[in-house]
Amino acid sequence: MEAQTIVKPIEILLVEDSPGDVRLTAETLREGKIRNRLHVVWDGVEAMDYLHSRGPYAEAARPDLILLDLNLPKKDGREVLFEIKSDENLRSIPVIVLTTSDNDLDVLSCYDLHANCYIVKPVNLDKFIEVIKTIEGFWLNIVTLPHTNA
């Protein structure tokens, strides 16, 4: 009998201030085929505390993937993206900007800040769920994510 390999779940950090979007994202990922653990923070300051294992996040798992909204309280997503991609210990974590803004300047600035992907959130519920499933399908099934012990 062959020994089974235990697959470590993918650690996902969702930085989102909309409870509805958090709920839909969590439900969609829970129904997916890939084992994952979703960690949610509600603003940019909390996101950086999580990523630097500060305060209540001292034992937080390093995310394998970050889903980042742009329009956040306390510190907006652009600032968070800049800090992540400027930090030698965090820059390898793929960041998917998932936002309602379809402004060309937002798209350009996020790619200038080295976002790995920019997705405009659909307002239609079914299309939103489809986007989350597509993210899961591509980023969790096809892409090889950088796993670290950090």
pTM above 0.95, yes or no: no
Q: Residue 147 domain-assigned?
A: no
Residue 24 lies in domain: 12-140
- Report how many domains make up the chain: 1
- Higher local confidence (pLDDT), 5 or 122: 122
Q: Calculate the average pLDDT of the chain.
A: 87
Q: Residue 69 domain-assigned?
A: yes
User: Residue 109 to residues 46, 74, 88, 131, 135: CA-CA distances in angstroms?
Assistant: 22, 19, 20, 22, 21
Q: Residue 149 domain-assigned?
A: no
- Give me the pLDDT at residue 8, please: 77
| Averaged pLDDT for residues 36-47 | 93
Q: Residue 4 domain-assigned?
A: no
- Give me the pLDDT at residue 14, please: 96
Query: Do 76 and 44 contact (CB within 8 A), yes or no?
Result: yes
- Give me the pLDDT at residue 102, please: 92
Q: Residue 122 domain-assigned?
A: yes
Q: Residue 2 domain-assigned?
A: no
- The CATH number that applies at residue 62 is 3.40.50.2300
Q: What is the DSSP letter of 96?
A: E
First-to-last C-alpha distance (Å) of the chain: 34
